[in-house]
Structure 1
Amino acid sequence: MSVNDVLKGMGYKFIAEIGEGSFSQVKLATSQKHHCNVAIKIVDRVKAPKDFVQKFLPRELVILRRVNHNHIVQMHELIEVAGKRLCIVMEAAAKDLLQKIHEVNRIPEDQSKNLFSQMVSAINYLHQMDIVHRDLKCENILLTAEEQVKVTDFGFAHCVQDPSELSHTFCGSAAYTPPEVIMGMPYDPKKYDIWSLGVILYVMVTGLMPYDDTNLRRLIRLQRKSLVYPEGAGVQEPCRKIKRNILYIYITIQMLKTHKKTFISPPQ
């Protein structure tokens, strides 16, 4: 029996395909059981890399079962199909943050503050549970029809056993990745998330990526320079003076109140 037949028999009706990868796809569906639209991530365990099936997928499922936060996507149920495919049924969203930015060019500062505070709340919650995301980017920040944030995609997430434990896995997208990760150095995974939050904030208020990530060596050099906001970015003058604090990281850390050090010197 096909995946479609199994899900149809369980009261799911597909509406559209909203994402596809080399070994997974995400479909929007209606659900009789949950009385709402849902997103169903269908993972092909046969096509998926062994490391993903044995390491990253189990981690993601453990974390999705544990978390319960207004701004983190919730998992409704897991469905096994013939031992070959796994269907992860989650709450659906209207769009992701990158789609929103493409629609409006850049998000007004007041709205950016509201969305960003929701992201910080979600990541603070994860960090207090010693869970790190390690793949925060605009595409992994979903927005509901009411434009409420839902952090998603925990494929690279990890439960930290020791607060002083450093990570060694290179993961995530280079454009959202701090220098030490790109350089292959052991890194604090919670600080990785904070750096990524800063990049997301910059993209929201400017509509642009802060650095060109087409060349990793050049990217590292650019990350060490003072941040420059484009003209007409809509950022208030006090924010423009925070030159040495790349991507508002210092502000983010103060909001999270869970870290004592930053990657770079705080603004003077």
Structure 2
Amino acid sequence: MSVNDVLKGMGYKFIAEIGEGSFSQVKLATSQKHHCNVAIKIVDRVKAPKDFVQKFLPRELVILRRVNHDHIVQMHELIEVAGKRLCIVMEAAAKDLLQKIHEVNRIPEDQSKNLFSQMVSAINYLHQMDIVHRDLKCENILLTAEEQVKITDFGFARCVQDPSELSHTFCGSAAYTPPEVIMGMPYDPKKYDIWSLGVILYVMVTGSMPYDDTNLRRLIRLQRKSLVYPDGAGVQEPCRVFIRTLLQFSPSTRPTIQQVAERPWLQMGKS
């Protein structure tokens, strides 16, 4: 029986394909069981690399089962098909953050602050559970029709048993990756997430990437320098200071996620 036949028999009806990788697909579907639209990630275990099947996929599933937060995508169920394909049924969203930025060019600072506060809340929750994401980027920040954040794609996430434990795996997208990881050094995975959040916020308020990642050696040199903002971006100084705090070259000077949540820029305007 094909994957489509199995899922149709379980009350899922495909609407569209919304994503595709080298060994997975993501489809939007209606669900009779869950009474809503869902996103179904179909992973081909035969095509997928062994380290993904044996290491990263099990980690992702363990974490998705554990987490329960308003701004983290919820997993509804897992469906095995003939031992070859795994269907991960999750709540659906309207778009991702990158699509939103492409639509509006850049997101006004007040709206960026609201969305970013939701991201910080989710990452604070994860870090308190000693879970790190390690692949935060605009494409992995989903938005609902009501523009509520849903963080997704925990393929590189892991649990950190010891706060002093360093990671060694190079993962994520270079444009969102901190310098210590690009240089191949053992790294604090929680500080990795902080750097990625800084890149995301810069992209939100400017509509462009802070660093050119086409050459990794040059990327590290750029990361050492002061941030440059596009002409006419109109980013206010408190926001610039906040972003600069997140994008500290040395991980030891980057704040923890709890300290990020308490920064003045995020608190301004709150009652």
Q: Is the pair's TM-score, using the shorter chain for normalization, greater than 0.5?
A: yes
Closer/same/farther in 2, CA of residues 13 and 101 from structure 1, 3 Å limit:
same
Closer/same/farther in 2, CA of residues 76 and 21 from structure 1, 3 Å limit:
same
1:219 alignment partner, SS class: helix
Which residue of 1 is the match for residue 258 of structure 2?
A: 254
Give the share of equivalent positions with the same residue, in percent. Answer: 91
Task: Tell me, yes or no, if the aligned pair for 2:79 and 2:87 is still in contact at 8 Å.
Answer: yes
Closer/same/farther in 2, CA of residues 261 and 179 from structure 1, 3 Å limit:
farther
Closer/same/farther in 2, CA of residues 230 and 155 from structure 1, 3 Å limit:
same
1:241 alignment partner, SS class: helix
Cα deviation, residue 242, structure 1: 6.5
Closer/same/farther in 2, CA of residues 231 and 75 from structure 1, 3 Å limit:
same
Cα deviation, residue 232, structure 1: 1.5
CA–CA separation in structure 2 for the residues paired with 1:244 and 1:74: 32
1:16 alignment partner, SS class: strand
Q: Deviations over 1:81-124 (max 9, x none)?
A: 00000000000000000000000000000000000000000000
Closer/same/farther in 2, CA of residues 87 and 262 from structure 1, 3 Å limit:
same
CA–CA separation in structure 2 for the residues paired with 1:92 and 1:104: 22
Q: Deviations over 1:179-222 (max 9, x none)?
A: 00000000000000000000000000000000000000000000
Cα deviation, residue 36, structure 1: 0.1
Closer/same/farther in 2, CA of residues 210 and 34 from structure 1, 3 Å limit:
same
Cα deviation, residue 259, structure 1: 12
Cα deviation, residue 265, structure 1: 23
CA–CA separation in structure 1 for the residues paired with 2:173 and 2:227: 20
Cα deviation, residue 16, structure 1: 0.2
Task: Tell me, yes or no, if the aligned pair for 2:124 and 2:258 is still in contact at 8 Å.
Answer: no
Cα deviation, residue 237, structure 1: 3.4
CA–CA separation in structure 2 for the residues paired with 1:155 and 1:44: 14
Which residue of 1 is the match for residue 239 of structure 2?
A: 239
Cα deviation, residue 227, structure 1: 1.0
2:63 alignment partner, SS class: helix
CA–CA separation in structure 2 for the residues paired with 1:224 and 1:117: 26
Aligned Cα RMSD in Å?
A: 4.0
Closer/same/farther in 2, CA of residues 245 and 15 from structure 1, 3 Å limit:
same
Task: Tell me, yes or no, if the aligned pair for 1:95 and 1:144 is still in contact at 8 Å.
Answer: yes
Q: Deviations over 1:41-93 (max 9, x none)?
A: 00000000000000000000000000000000000000000000000000000
TM-score, normalised to structure 1, is 0.92
CA–CA separation in structure 2 for the residues paired with 1:239 and 1:2: 51
Cα deviation, residue 235, structure 1: 1.2
Closer/same/farther in 2, CA of residues 260 and 180 from structure 1, 3 Å limit:
farther
CA–CA separation in structure 1 for the residues paired with 2:94 and 2:263: 36
Closer/same/farther in 2, CA of residues 166 and 52 from structure 1, 3 Å limit:
same
Cα deviation, residue 231, structure 1: 2.1
* Segments of 4+ moved more than 6 angstroms: 258-268
Task: Tell me, yes or no, if the aligned pair for 1:135 and 1:157 is still in contact at 8 Å.
Answer: yes
Task: Tell me, yes or no, if the aligned pair for 2:97 and 2:143 is still in contact at 8 Å.
Answer: yes
Closer/same/farther in 2, CA of residues 164 and 246 from structure 1, 3 Å limit:
closer
Task: Tell me, yes or no, if the aligned pair for 1:227 and 1:246 is still in contact at 8 Å.
Answer: no
Closer/same/farther in 2, CA of residues 213 and 266 from structure 1, 3 Å limit:
farther
CA–CA separation in structure 2 for the residues paired with 1:139 and 1:9: 31
1:242 alignment partner, SS class: helix
Cα deviation, residue 261, structure 1: 17
Q: How do residues 89-238 of structure 1 correspond to structure 2 at under 5 angstroms?
A: 89-238=89-238
Closer/same/farther in 2, CA of residues 85 and 242 from structure 1, 3 Å limit:
closer
Task: Tell me, yes or no, if the aligned pair for 1:242 and 1:267 is still in contact at 8 Å.
Answer: no
Closer/same/farther in 2, CA of residues 82 and 254 from structure 1, 3 Å limit:
closer
Unaligned runs of 5+ in 1: none
Closer/same/farther in 2, CA of residues 55 and 259 from structure 1, 3 Å limit:
farther
1:245 alignment partner, SS class: helix
Report the number of matched residues.
Answer: 263
Task: Tell me, yes or no, if the aligned pair for 1:18 and 1:28 is still in contact at 8 Å.
Answer: yes
